[in-house]
Structure 1
Amino acid sequence: MKSTFLLGSLVALAMAGCASTTKQADTMLMTEAELHNSGAQVLKDADGYWSAVKRVSPRYPLKQVQNGVSGCVELEYRIGSDGKMDGYRVVKAFPGDVFVDAVVDAMKQTRWQPTAENTAREPVVTTIQLDLRLEGYDTSGYRENCGANNM
């Protein structure tokens, strides 16, 4: 009985940890209106305000490697005054949402520092497309949906 309680407690703790991670991801997901009305400037390119000092590449999901799947995710995201992504929305994802979690996880770990022109650490909203592509597989759907210029 004691070991059952301990095992049950460990399972409950593990589930609580998973739930809190999911909750955190949900609070960062925003609508276009929420991003654009957040008080941050909306820029095509944030380089004049923020410079990436830590870039993290998305982890290719094992199932997609095994199946030879290539794709892309376009995110509109907000860089907060602390130099971290603090909100995002998925603009485009191909195929479906199979790469969204990997891209969002990578962007959460990316860090920016303000440029000399952004001494006030003004937040900005900008867009990025991250591509996940395997060599040697049929990439016709990838080219059509993610842009031929990414080949």
Structure 2
Amino acid sequence: MKYTIAGSLIVLLLGCTSTSHQSSTEYGVAERVQLSDQQKKTLERFPPKYPTRVASSGIEGCATIEYVVTPDFEVQDVNTLVASNPLFATEAQKVIKKWRWENLASDFKTGPLKFQTRFEYCLENGSGRCSMNTLLNKTQCSGNDVVPSVGMQM
């Protein structure tokens, strides 16, 4: 009886996995970090293109993308965590690779870094409905690091 209980506990404990904020890459373990406001400016981030097909249909939405940037400033392991439309995820993934990661050279001294960015796609109608404060309060996609892509309603 003791061995059955002990064996069950061991199997149960081996089945548990810890959730880490790190992931392995060819450069080693990538540490999950958040960009400071200064780093965001230095990086020269710009918004993704608003997909014409969904903009002309009046569709708004979001995409949350997780990715690793290596010490060589390569973007790897790009994953869509959530997206209200696959076209939003595609455009978000494209723009991440165009950002000027080499501007943050001093931040990559310790190895690869993992980031998560939320992209909010909003169609402005002149009322201010696409302000950053409004977009930050949206909850369809997760993430505190928000990059807006604002289109115009026709």
**Pair 1:58 & 2:48 matched:** yes
More strand by share: 2
Unaligned runs of 5+ in 1: 1-32
Q: 1:119 Cα deviation (Å)? A: 6.2
More helix by share: 1
Q: How does 1:1-151 map to 2 (within 5 A)?
A: 36-38=23-25, 39-43=29-33, 45-47=34-36, 52-94=42-84, 96-112=85-101, 113-114=103-104, 116=106, 118=107, 120=109, 122-136=111-125, 143=138, 145-146=140-141
Q: Which sits farther off after the overlay, 119-128 or 60-69?
A: 119-128
Q: 1:145 Cα deviation (Å)? A: 1.7
Unaligned runs of 5+ in 2: 1-19, 131-137, 149-154
- CA shift digits 1:80-138 (9 cap, x unpaired): 112232221111101x312111111111101223365x3625210121101110024xx
Q: 1:46 Cα deviation (Å)? A: 3.8
Q: 1:76 Cα deviation (Å)? A: 0.9
Please report the RMSD computed on the Cα atoms of aligned residues, expressed in angstroms: 3.6
Moved over 4 A (4+): none
Aligned to 1:15: none
SS in 1 for 2:91: helix
Larger radius of gyration: 2
**TM-score computed with the length of structure 1 as normaliser:** 0.58
Structure 2 vs 1, CA of residues 57 and 84 (structure 1 numbering), >3 Å: closer, same or farther? farther
SS in 1 for 2:54: helix
In 2, the alpha carbon distance for the partners of 1:53 and 1:98 equals 24
Matched residue type, 1:37: S
In 1, the alpha carbon distance for the partners of 2:56 and 2:140 equals 21
**TM-score computed with the length of structure 2 as normaliser:** 0.57
Matched residues, percent identical? 19
In 2, the alpha carbon distance for the partners of 1:37 and 1:85 equals 14
